[in-house]
Structure 1
């Protein structure tokens, strides 16, 4: 058999995760994301969402290419010469969250993985920045420091409140909100249609004879929670005998149980609960069972969201399930359009979750 002609087509080369990581770091250094030295390995692993061994293989490749050198203090100094040409446009799309990936709901983790895959296919890398300070009531200093230190083509905000959103509006940085914007904030957003889901839940509970409904939600003016409240109010509108009780808790089981205890002892206790966070459904159901309440005979329970662990609850929980794959497609499409054009219409894209009939209503 004759050897292949040197002028013929070369077989495709498989690119390892370490190679992709090295390429992402190379592009970030060329774009001037870091000055002087790279951040530590722990920060880079968290930002790039790769293992320590993968990161070290990528750093070794950059060192062999002469782009890095290790100093006596074991810091990696950037050796690439400064270029006076126009800066390379960033190929990084950054997620900003107050919670690390492992602390997110399972559906959010799946969505981030699918988002990373879709962005990688389009030539973008995904970074995750976790900062509690950026989600405070006065986030300006922390946000300024982060966005200066780690420029990105697009910032994707997870679970943000109005002060964070308003800062991105003032700075005019390309930004996409995963969730709902605060009232009057002109940013593009992608979220489940909580208003429609809760309107459906309220109508369902009314048909089952419930007139006193409690909405159980975390404290804080998250757009999706406000939309949920509005949807329930719309479902109860026109019925003078119906009422909505909003229980805003601090996300601890103790506070949530104390609010439920007070509500059950009131002259007109609720007969149905709509729970705005899946993890709190377990707290609500176990508390009601401790108080001798039968579900659904004495108290109906509806989960506004869905997570895999609800499938193992007894009785099965009535809930609303949004598709993680569909969510990732919409977010990646919007993020890529924003990265390529620099702008998106400041509109809300809403995905209607599927109603999952359980046995708690």
Structure 2
């Protein structure tokens, strides 16, 4: 999981079992109408959503947050995922994101199902199935598994509307079957965190870094792949990692990224990874080296040859302040804005060069294997 394997992190990962479990046959009690199976009345699916998914009208305030309600809405869609590999058996979490015609798809983390020889899905209503891995994306740490039944569907909220301080619930199986459907409560502590083991040193960052939410809702082994929900019981992120160096810090992949990747996997497509081809450091980090740096956003430290960045006309020393009109300040990151796009999308960059504003246009590429050509940085 290259994009989320920071040295200071511990994946919320599968909890390890002492031995393999027998394969349970699919148990199919009559399906019933359950919370999370349909959109809120009057809501229409967004342009990047499949039927049965809805964008939440907005985050609930602390004063109206009801964790019991959120858990009642979301919990019926959350599964325990039991994975057998050549190394043994482990457990993680997942949640149903699409269901129609006797087939349901669940989102989970790639690191939960990586190397699986057998995948079992257990639902809170007692139904359990042998599942197949529909597809996986190691870079974004998103995978989709498929089962042959209609299951209650979780609704996605728009993670770009999540606010710092917003209360959330994390649902999963931190102790495997012993902790099935555990609910923990916290708040969104920060937005647009970048977590990776890929760096250029001296605080330089690669655009391939993931953009994740930080919360203080307790996340432990077995929570991987479970949902982070808002007060409406809608999914704002997928829990993926916690900090090994501090308590009360957990990370979740934003719902917009989970949706984009999962929908491609369900369609049998390889998910694209938007790519510009620039190496950079934040202006805040650059100021520690050179107090004369102007502007805000990110300082371009290198432009890779034959990339969208080069074709846009970016140069070393440019400061990118906006992407498609979104200011790279107040916690908004370059990687966070780019991650919301698909390869082939046009983007407009607002940059500062020698004190003058520039408007540069280009079309995002697809990240090449291995991250693409290296940047020549000073």
Q: Which bin holds the TM-score, normalised by the shorter protein?
A: under 0.3
Of Structure 1 and Structure 2, the greater helix share is in 1
What is the TM-score normalised by the length of structure 2?
0.26
Q: Which has the higher contact order (CA 8 A, sep 6+)?
A: 2
Of Structure 1 and Structure 2, the greater strand share is in 2
What is the TM-score normalised by the length of structure 1?
0.27
